[in-house]
Homo-oligomer: A and B are copies of this chain.
Amino acid sequence: MRQAALGAATSLLLDEGIAAVTFERVARLAGVSKTTLYKWWPSAAAIAVDGYFAVSAPQLELSDSGDIATDLRAQLGQFVDLMTRSVAGPAVRGLIAAAQSDDDVRLAFVVHYVHPRREIGGAALRRAQSRGQLSTKIDVQVLIDQLWGACYYRLMTEPDLVTATYLDALVDQALNGVAAAR
């Protein structure tokens, strides 16, 4: 029943967007009572986040060429493709949007979407630290925001501006800094 509910919520999210994910429709589509859904999830959007995580988790593997600049460009490029050319884009943007007015959705999104991705990104950056490519003094979670956070902001405001040229500049500036040479 839990799997059926997750599957139904994810289908609705990807096909019609976050507004279509209601207790009513998930219950009907999954053949599960609304009472049961209420017991398991605080809100319909929380089912959607859980379901989205299940389908998107396999995409989280990051490439590892041995060179951090190459890997970051490739990983950000894949992420931007996913956000702009697949149903994942509107789904994820819809979840972030829903999280702004519903703290249960925000917490579900943070636990099931943000943290798993931060952990995988953090591991890749720590690997680059151990290889001597990144400074060991930096906060890798802050670096994730400098890269992925920058992309999220642009994708949510001016998605057409997130081009390959943009990503090249982003990775180059993040790695090498922007201060004038002394």
Contact = CB atoms under 8 A, between A and B. Distances in A.
Interface string A69-90: 0000000000000000000001
Given A101-B17, A134-B179, A153 B148 contact: yes
B166 A142 contact: yes
A157 interface: yes
Contact of A97 (B101, B109, B145): B101
A54 interface: no
Interface residues of A, number: 50
A177 B176 contact: yes
Oligomer: number of copies: 2
B135 A142 contact: no
Nearest to A171: B142
Given A17-B101, A135-B181, A150-B153, 17 more contacts: A96-B97, A106-B157, A110-B158, A133-B180, A142-B169, A142-B170, A143-B178, A145-B151, A146-B150, A146-B170, A149-B152, A149-B153, A150-B150, A153-B153, A173-B174, A174-B178, A175-B178
6 contacts: A97-B100, A114-B158, A135-B181, A139-B169, A145-B153, A146-B170
